[in-house]
Amino acid sequence: MNWLLNTNILSGPAVVGTCIAAALAFVLLVVLRPSNRWLRRRWTMTAATAAVVAGLLGIGLTWLLADHYNLFGVVLTADSRMWIALGFAAIGVALVSLWRPTWRRAVAAPLAIVLFALTAAMGVNIAFGQYPTVRLALGMPAFGSADLPSLDGNADRPTIADWTAPDGMPSTGEVGTVTIPATASGFTARPAVIYRPPAALTDNPPLLPVLIVLSGQPGQPQDPLIAAHLQQSLDAYASAHDGLAPIVVSPDQLGSPDANPMCIDSPLGNSATYLTVDVPTWIKANLPVLDAPDFWGIGGLSQGGTCSIQLGSAHPELFSAILDASGEEFPSLGDEATTIAQGFGGDRAAYEAAKPAAIMAAHAPYRDMTAVFGVGSNDAGFLPGVQRIYQAAQAAGMDATYVEAQGSAHDATSWTYIFQQGLEIIADHWGLGR
C-alpha cells in the first residue's frame, strides 16, 4: 500500500501513464460509434459539439468561481485553466455517449468520466506543484514523530563561530512531528513539523537560530517543507556550511485545513497567542536554539506569509527576520465585510490596525530587522500587494529585499524559489554563513 501512497503525481511513470490512459479512453469514445443508427450517423458532430460546449462550460465555471467570486483565493494559471477545460470537454463526450448506450458503453463511459476528472485534477496539481505524492494529496502525514533528546543545559555547547563538524555527522537533516501544547492560548492545533539540520543531530550540537514557518490556507504544517521543498533547501544550505542551518518549526496556525483564524486572537481561535507564546516557549524548552530575538525569524507561504508579516512586524522583541512568500496584503476571510464581522467582531478600527502596513507604521523605525518579500511574476492577484508591503517595510526601516520568481504564479515553484533566496539572506544575517 505504501508504494501507492508514495507514488509521484507531479512527474514520472504514473503521470505519463494516466495521461496516456485518458487520451486512449477519449479516442475510443470518439472512434467507437454508438450502436443506435441515428446517433451513429451524427456521432462525430455530436461528440465535437459536446466537447466544445462542455469545455466552454468548464472555462465559464472557472471564471465564475475563481475570478468573479474568488472562491480559491488565487488567480488560476493558464495551465490550470487548460486542464480544467480539457477535463470538462472529455467528460462532455463521455456523457453524450451514454445516450441509449450498449452495455459496454454503459460500463466504460462512467469509468472514463472518473479517469478524465482525475487526469484534470492531476494536471491542476502539476501546475501548482502542491501535492507531490498520493499520500499528501489525501492529507495523510508525511513524517513520523520526532525523537528529541533531552536538553542537558547549554553552557558547554560550541558556538556557531567555533563550530567544527564532527566525524560521523549525518549528511542530511531530520524531519518529524511534535505536539506543541496550547497552554496559554487554548488553541486547537494539529501536530507541528520540525526540521533539525545535521549539526543539531550531533552529540553536542551548537545553539542554532530558529525559523518558524507557516503553511498557506487551506494547508497543513508539513506543506512548507514538502510542497515548497524547504527541506531540500535547508539540506543544501547545511551541506555547504558544515551542517549548519536554522532549526525550522512549522506549527499549525489554522486548526484545520479549511479554517482561517488569520493569526489573530478572536472567536475564531487564539492563533496569535499560540504562535507568539506557546510555540516559542516549547521551542526554548525542547530544542538547542539561541534564545535572543536576533536569531529568531518567522516566515510562511500565501496566508502563512501574511501571518509572518503580521506577527514578525508586531513582535520585534521575538523576531529579527521575516520571510514572506506570496503573502496577502492584509488578513482576509474572502471579503472585507465578512472579515470584519467574523474576525474582528464588527470592529473596523481593530481590522485596520491588524493590517501589516499599519503594524509596521506603528512599530517604526525597526532596528536590525531583515525581511524578504517574494512573489511569482505571473501572480496577478498577489504581486501588487507584496510590492506595496515591501515598500512599507522599507519605509519602516527594515532591511528589506524583494524577490520575484520569473514565470511562476501562486504556486509551489514560486515558493520554492523564494524560500531558497530568503534562506540564504536570513541565514547569512544570523551568521550561519560564517
In this predicted structure, the answer to whether residue 335 has a pLDDT above a threshold of 90 is: no
| Strand pairing report for 174-178 and 192-196 | antiparallel
Q: Place 33 in a pLDDT band, splitting at 50, 70 and 90.
A: low
Mean pLDDT for 399-418 is: 94
Mean pLDDT for 232-236 is: 96
Q: 348: burial class by Cβ within 10 Å (0-12, 13-18, 19+)? A: exposed
Q: What does the alpha-carbon distance between residue 233 and residue 304 come to, in Å, rounded to a whole number?
A: 18
Q: Place 330 in a pLDDT band, splitting at 50, 70 and 90.
A: very high
For residue 154, what pLDDT is reported?
Answer: 59
pTM: 0.87
Q: Place 290 in a pLDDT band, splitting at 50, 70 and 90.
A: very high
In this predicted structure, the answer to whether residue 119 has a pLDDT above a threshold of 60 is: yes
What rounded mean pLDDT belongs to the chain? 91
Least confident window among 55-59, 99-103, 156-160: 99-103
DSSP string of 21-38, one letter each residue: HHHHHHHHHHHS--SSHH
Least confident window among 6-10, 261-265, 372-376: 6-10
For residue 97, what pLDDT is reported?
Answer: 86
In this predicted structure, the answer to whether residue 350 has a pLDDT above a threshold of 60 is: yes
For residue 397, what pLDDT is reported?
Answer: 97
Q: Place 39 in a pLDDT band, splitting at 50, 70 and 90.
A: low
Q: What does the alpha-carbon distance between residue 321 and residue 427 come to, in Å, rounded to a whole number?
A: 10
For residue 4, what pLDDT is reported?
Answer: 82
For residue 286, what pLDDT is reported?
Answer: 94
Mean pLDDT for 78-106 is: 89
In this predicted structure, the answer to whether residue 37 has a pLDDT above a threshold of 80 is: no
Nine cell digits for residue 368: 536590525
Q: Is the peptide bond prior to 34 cis by the omega test (within 30 degrees of 0)?
A: no
Superfamily of domain 146-429: Alpha/Beta hydrolase fold, catalytic domain (3.40.50.1820)
Pair 18, 126: CB distance under 8 Å: no
Mean pLDDT for 260-268 is: 94
In this predicted structure, the answer to whether residue 344 has a pLDDT above a threshold of 70 is: yes
For residue 73, what pLDDT is reported?
Answer: 67
In this predicted structure, the answer to whether residue 224 has a pLDDT above a threshold of 90 is: yes
Nine cell digits for residue 316: 520585534
Nine cell digits for residue 98: 451514454
Mean pLDDT for 250-254 is: 97
Mean pLDDT for 185-198 is: 97
Q: Bigger pLDDT: 130 or 7? A: 7
108 CB-near residues (< 8 Å, 6+ apart): 25, 28, 29
Q: Bigger pLDDT: 142 or 187? A: 187
Q: What does the alpha-carbon distance between residue 144 and residue 125 come to, in Å, rounded to a whole number?
A: 25
For residue 395, what pLDDT is reported?
Answer: 97
Mean pLDDT for 71-89 is: 86
Give me the percent of the chain exceeding a pLDDT of 90: 71
DSSP SS3 for 376: strand
Give me the percent of the chain exceeding a pLDDT of 70: 97
**Domain locations in the chain?**
2-128, 146-429
Mean pLDDT for 109-134 is: 90
Mean pLDDT for 77-89 is: 92
